[in-house]
Amino acid sequence: MEKGRRVVVSALQFACTDEVSSNVANAERLVRAAHGKGANIILIQELFEGYYFCQAQREDFFQRAKPYKGHPTILRMQKLAKELGVVIPVSFFEEANNAHYNSVAIIDADGTDLGLYRKSHIPDGPGYQEKFYFNPGDTGFKVFQTKFASIGIAICWDQWFPEAARAMVLQGAEILFYPTAIGSEPQDEGLDSRDHWKRVMQGHAGANLVPLVASNRIGKELIETEHGKSEIRFYGNSFIAGPTGDIVAAADDKGEAILVAEFDLDKIKSKRHSWGIFRDRRPDLYKVLLTLDGNNPTL
C-alpha cells in the first residue's frame, strides 16, 4: 500500500531573556536540534525576541517594533530555513507606518517568505495589556502552502476562538499552529489556566480533524510597570495534538523542550472527509455568528 504524505512537526519551548541576540541565537539552536530530530515544520513561541513586554503600558516599549520588510530576525530565519530545508513561522512585533501589529511571517523550506499573518484577537487584561501596543490584525485568517503542508497560523489569544480554527481549515489548512505567551495571572495567584488552555485547542483539533501545534514560553519575567513591578510565570506546557484532539507530545512547565510528532496527512484527510463534519455543515444557519450579541443575524 502506498504511503501517504508524511510530515514531522515540532514545537519549541524555552525561557526568554530581554536581549534580542541571545533569544534569537537560542531559537536558532533549538531549530537546528528539531531539524536533527527530523522536523519539517518548526514552531517558535510568540514574541520570542524578548520578554513579554505587554505586562506594562510603556511608550518606550514601542521601540521594540520593527518593519516587516528587512526585519533582521526574519532575514536570519530565512537563511536558516533555506540551509536546513525546514518551514519556520517567525513571530515579531511589527511596525507599519503608524500602526503596530503582533505578527508572524511564514518562511518556507527554501527560505522564501510566504507572507504575513497579523493577530486578530487582541487581549486586554492585567498582565496582558496588548491593546496598548497592537492594532487588531487586518489580514484575516490565512492558509499558507508550504513545501510540506498547507498550514494555518494564529497567535495566542486567537487560540481561544473556534471560529478562527474553523476559518483556517475551511480554507484548506491541514495543520494548525499557535505561537503563544501565556502564564500566571498577576491579579489572581490562584488562577491557573493551563489545562483550560490545552483543552480548548484540543477541541479545535478534534472538531476540525487536523493536527495542532502550540508553542509557549517558560520562566519568570519581571517587568517594571507604571504601578510598580509585575511578574508572570509562563507555564510552558507546549504540546502537539493529533486530529482527534489527543495529545501526542507534551512539555512540562519548567524545562526547555523540543517536541516532535509525525503525521500522515493523506490518511488524516481521508478520515476528515469520511467523518462528515464538513459535508454536514449548514452555513445558511450560522449568520448569527456575524453578530456580537446574537441579534440581527441577517446583517
Task: Compute the Cα dihedral for 258, 169, 141, 58 and give only its sign.
Answer: negative
Measured distance CA(288)–CA(17) in Å, rounded: 44
> Could you say which of 16, 156, 198, 221 is catalytic?
156
Rounded to the nearest angstrom, the gap between the alpha carbon of residue 289 and the centroid of all alpha carbons in its chain is 24
Measured distance CA(241)–CA(198) in Å, rounded: 9
> Could you say which of 119, 174, 198, 221 is catalytic?
119
Torsion (CA) 143, 146, 150, 152 in degrees, nearest 10: -40
Q: Residue 124 has which C-alpha cell?
A: 486586554
Q: Distances in Å between the alpha carbon of 204 and those of 176, 200, 209, 268? A: 9, 7, 8, 15
**185: DSSP letter:** B
Q: Is 287 a catalytic residue?
A: no
> Residue 135 corresponds to which amino acid?
N
Residues 51 and 224 sit within 8 Å (Cβ to Cβ):
no
Q: Distances in Å between the alpha carbon of 248 and those of 9, 79, 92, 259, 273? A: 11, 30, 28, 9, 22
Q: Is 119 a catalytic residue?
A: yes
Measured distance CA(265)–CA(41) in Å, rounded: 13
> Could you say which of 16, 28, 46, 174 is catalytic?
46
Host H or E run for residue 93: strand 88-96
Q: Is 28 a catalytic residue?
A: no
Catalytic residues: 46, 119, 156
